[in-house]
Amino acid sequence: MTLEEIEAFVASLGKEKYRARQIMKWIYQQGASSFEEMTNLSKEVRTVMAKEARIGNLEIVRTETSGDGTKKILFRLEDGLLIESVLIPGASHWTLCVSTQAGCRMGCAFCFTARSGFSRNLRPAEIVDQIVQAKFRTEEGPGINNLVLMGMGEPLDNYDNVLKAIAIINSDYGLSLSPRKITLSTCGLAPGIERLGRESAVNLAVSLNAPDDRRRNELMPINRKYPLAALIQACKSYPMPRRRRITFEYILIAGVNDSPADAKLLVKTFGGLRCKFNLIAFNEFPGCPFKAPDPRAIEAFQKVLVDHRFTAVLRQSRGKDILAACGQLSGRHRAETTGSEEVKKIGG
C-alpha cells in the first residue's frame, strides 16, 4: 500500500492519518514485521491494526554465495512459487537485482528464466519486500544503495504493479531511494517505455542483443511486435536529464551477433541516439545451445563502438558459478545429490 492508501485505511478505522507515516517508517526504515514492534503507536492502535491488517514477509529459502562475492537469495512466495534476487558487490556498496514476475512470458532464446515458463505477476508487496528482506535480514543490507529491476520477469509486462512498487521505494516514508539509484531493464515493450518516461524518472536499460530485426526476431520474440524502429522511437521520446543516457544491454553470443560487422551495423542504427552500451558475454546454462564468444571477438566488437565515439563497457558477469548472472535466474532450487547436482523447480 502507498502512503495515501494506508492513510485512507487507518482513517476508515477511525484513527489519525498521521499514523500511516509512522507505520510506513516502521516497515521500510526499521524493518518491522509486526504491528506490536511499533512502539510509538498506542497499544489500542496496534491491536486494531493487527486485527484488520497484516505485514507480509517473503520467506528466505536459501542464500548461495559465489566465488566472486555475489549472493543469490531464493524467496518463497505465500502460494509456494519461488523467485530469486541477487546481491552484487561493488567497490563500496551493494546493488540489489530484484524480480518482478514469477517466471517470464517473453520467451527470449538465451534466457534461463524463459525456460521455466510464466506463473504470474508479482504484487507490489512482493517486489518491495525483496528489498526489505535483503536490507534487514542480510549482513549486506545496510550497504545496498542501488536497485536494478533486472531479475526474473519483464517489468513493463507488469507495469502497474511495478510502478506502484517504485512509488513505495521512492517515498520519503518508504525506502527513500532516489530514482537516480534505480534502473529498470526491459526487453523492448515500446508503449511501456513511453509510458514509463511520462510517469517515472528511473534509469532505463534496454536489452537489445541484435543489430537487426531478423536476428532480434529469432532471439527475442517481442521484436516481432515492436521492431527496432518502434523501439528506437520510444527510446528517443524517453526524457533523460542532460548527463544521463539510455543503456543498451548487448549479450554477445559466439557466431550469432558478435562480429565487427554487427558492431558497425549497431553504429549505423543507433547513431544520433544518446546512449551507451553494456556488453555482456553470454552466460551459459544447462541445456542451452549458445556459447560465449572468444575474448578477442569481444575486444574487436567493443573497439568498433569506441572508435565511433560510443561508450561501450564490457560488463563483468557476476555469480556465474551459482546461476546468478544475467539471463541465468530461474526460480529453481539447486539440490545437492551424490556425485551430481540436479536443478529442479519448486512450486508453480
Domain extent for 28:
3-52
Residue 277, all three cell numbers:
552500451
Number of domains in the chain: 2
Active-site annotation holder among 97, 111, 187, 326: 326
82 and 200 inside one domain: yes
157 and 287 inside one domain: yes
3-state secondary structure 216-228: HHHHCHHHHCCCH
pLDDT over 70 at 292, yes or no: yes
183 and 222 inside one domain: yes
Global pTM value: 0.91
pLDDT over 80 at 332, yes or no: no
115 and 33 inside one domain: no
Active-site annotation holder among 36, 64, 84, 139: 84
List, for residues 14-69, the tens digit of each pLDDT value: 999 999 999 999 999 999 999 999 999 999 999 999 999 999 999 999 999 999 99
DSSP string, 42-65: -HHHHHHHHHH------EEEEEEE
In sequence order, the 6+-apart residues with CB closer than 8 A to the CB of 323 are 72, 112, 285, 329, 330, 334, 343
Confidence of residue 345 (pLDDT cuts 50, 70, 90): very low
16 and 124 inside one domain: no
7 is catalytic: no
Which pLDDT does position 241 carry in this prediction?
A: 75
157 and 289 inside one domain: yes
Q: Which of 20, 36, 52 is the last residue of a domain?
A: 52
44 and 176 inside one domain: no
Q: Which residue type is seen at 123?
A: R
17 and 157 inside one domain: no
235 is catalytic: no
Confidence of residue 82 (pLDDT cuts 50, 70, 90): very high
25 and 81 inside one domain: no
Confidence of residue 340 (pLDDT cuts 50, 70, 90): very low
In sequence order, the 6+-apart residues with CB closer than 8 A to the CB of 262 are 211, 301
63 and 48 inside one domain: no
160 and 202 inside one domain: yes
Question: What would the mean pLDDT of 251-270 be, rounded to a whole number?
Answer: 96
Residue 300: CATH number of its domain: 3.20.20.70
List, for residues 183-197, the tens digit of each pLDDT value: 999 999 999 999 999
Residue 341 phi/psi, 5-degree rounding, is -135, 125
Confidence of residue 325 (pLDDT cuts 50, 70, 90): low
139 and 35 inside one domain: no
Residue 33: CATH number of its domain: 1.10.150.530
